Structure 1
Amino acid sequence: MSKAVLDINEKPTSVQWVTLSFQHMFAMFGSTILVPQLVGLSPAIALLTSGIATLVFLLVTQFKVPAYLGSSFAFISPMLIASNGLKDGVSVSPGNAMIGAMAVGLVYGIVSLLIWKTGYKWLMRLLPPIVVAPVIIVIGLGLSGTAVNMAMNINVEQLNATTGVVEVVSQYSALHFSAALVTLFSAIIFTVYFKNILSAMPILMGLIVGYIYSVIIGIVDFTPVKEAALFALPDFLIPGVDYEINITAKILLAMVPIVIVTISEHIGHQLVLGKVVNRNYVKDPGLHRSILGDGLGTLVSAFIGGPPKTTYGENIGVLAITRVYSVYVIMGAAIIAIVVSFFGKAMALIATIPTAVLGGISILLFGIIASSGLRMLVENNVDFGNNRNMVIASVILVVGIGGAALRFTESFAIEGMALAAIIGVILNLLLPGRDKEVADYD
Structure 2
Amino acid sequence: MNKKPVLDVNEIPNLLSWIPLSFQHLFAMFGATILVPILTGLNPSVALLSSGIGTLAYLMITKGKIPAYLGSSFAFIAPIITVSKTEGLGAAMFGALLAGIIYAIVALIIYKFGSEWIHKLLPPVVIGSVVIVIGLGLATVAVDMAMNVKVNGQTIYSLKHFFIALATLAIAILASTMFRGFLGVIPILLGIIGGYIISLFAGIVDLTKVYEAPWFAIPTFTTPEFSWKAAIIMVPVALVTITEHIGHLMVTGSIMNRDLVKDPGLHRSILGDGVATSLAALIGGPPNTTYGENIGVMAITRVYSVYVIAGAALFAMSFAFIGKLGALISTIPTPVMGGVSILLFGIIASAGLRMLVENGIDYSDKRNLVISSVIMVIGVGNAALHLKGIHIDIEGMALATIVGVILNLVLPTNKQGENEIEVEETDNLAQSSINRKTIKASL
- Contact 1:7–1:325 (8 Å) recurs in 2: yes
- The residue correspondences of 1:12-23 to structure 2 (distance < 5 A) are 12-23=13-24
Q: Which residue among 125, 139, 143 is the counterpart of 1:144? A: 139
Match of 1:429 among 388, 409, 412: 409
Answer yes or no: is 1:354 the counterpart of 2:345: no
In the aligned structure 2, how far is the partner of 1:348 from the partner of 1:423?
42
Matched, 1:35 2:36: yes
Q: Does structure 1 retain, via aligned residues, the 8 Å contact 2:93–2:223?
A: no
Q: Secondary structure at the match of 2:221?
A: coil
Instruction: Provide the residue aligned with 1:205 in structure 2.
Output: 190
Q: Please, which of 205, 216, 239 is the counterpart of residue 231 of structure 1?
A: 216
- Structural mapping, 1:142-291, within 5 Å: 142-157=137-152, 168-239=153-224, 245-246=225-226, 248-291=227-270
Partner residue, 2:439: none
2-structure distance, mates of 1:205, 1:16: 24
Whole-Å separation in 2 of the counterparts to 1:181 and 1:190: 14
Shift of 1:257: 0.8
Q: Quick one: distance in 1 between partners of 2:359 and 2:104?
A: 28
Q: Is the 8 A contact 1:132 1:260 kept in 2?
A: no
Displacement, 1:260? 2.1
Instruction: Encode CA deviations 1:373-397: one digit per residue, 9 max, x unaligned.
Output: 1111111111111111111011101
Match status 1:420 vs 2:400: yes
Rounded Cα–Cα distance in structure 2 between residues aligned with 1:426 and 1:45: 37
2: CA distance between counterparts of 1:47 and 1:112? Answer: 25
| CA contact 1:260–1:421 (8 Å) conserved in 2 | no
2:373 aligns with: 394
Which amino acid is 2:294 matched to? Answer: N
Q: Deviations over 1:334-353 (max 9, x none)?
A: 00000011000011001000
Partner deviation per Cα, 1:289-320 (whole Å, 9 max, x = no partner): 11100000001111111111111111111111
Look up the equivalent residue of 1:330 and give its one-letter code.
Answer: I
1:327 to 306, 315, 320: 306
The code of the aligned residue for 2:39 comes to L
In the aligned structure 2, how far is the partner of 1:191 from the partner of 1:153?
26
- State the partner residue of 1:47: 48
1:82 corresponds in structure 2 to 83
SS in structure 1 opposite 2:8?
Answer: coil
> After superposition, what is the alpha-carbon deviation per residue over 1:259-289, rounded to whole angstroms, capped at 9, x for unaligned?
1211111111111222222222222212111
Q: TM-score, normalized by length of structure 1?
A: 0.92
Structure 1 position 79, deviation (Å): 1.2
> What residue identity is the alignment partner of 1:424?
G
The CA deviation at 1:196 is 1.2
Distance between the aligned counterparts of 1:283 and 1:390, measured in 2? 36
1:185 and 1:319 mapped to 2: Cα distance?
27
Q: Quick one: distance in 2 between partners of 1:127 and 1:285?
A: 24
Show CA shifts across 1:125-152 (max 9, x none): 1111011000000000100110011011
Q: Any idea what the Cα deviations from partners look like across 1:221-276, whole Å, max 9, x if unmatched?
A: 0011111111100111245xxxxx43x32121111011121111111111122222
Separation of aligned partners in 1, 2:160 and 2:72: 30
What percentage of residue pairs aligned between the two structures are identical?
58
Pair 1:26-2:21 in alignment: no
Deviations 1:10-48 (A, max 9, x none): 111101110010111011111111111111111000010
The answer to whether the 8 A contact 1:138-1:397 is kept is: yes
SS of the equivalent of 1:437 reads helix
Q: How far does residue 354 in structure 1 lie from its aligned partner after superposition?
A: 0.2
Q: Map of 1:308-323 to 2, 5 A cutoff?
A: 308-323=287-302
The CA deviation string for residues 75-101 of structure 1, in whole angstroms up to 9 with x for no partner, is 11111222225xxxxxx7211011111
Unaligned stretches of 5+ in structure 2? 414-422, 437-443
Structure 2 letter corresponding to 1:276: I
Aligned length: 420
What SS is found at the alignment partner of 1:83?
helix
In 1, distance between residues paired with 2:168 and 2:264?
40
Judge which range, 2-11 or 429-438, deviates more.
429-438
Q: Distance in 1 between matches of 2:12 and 2:159?
A: 51
- Structure 2 CA distance for aligned equivalents of residues 273 and 189 of structure 1: 27
2:394 maps to amino acid: I
In structure 1, distance between residues paired with 2:260 and 2:190: 31
Cα distance between partner residues in 2 of 1:263 and 1:108: 7
Bigger drift between 279-288 and 372-381 goes to 279-288
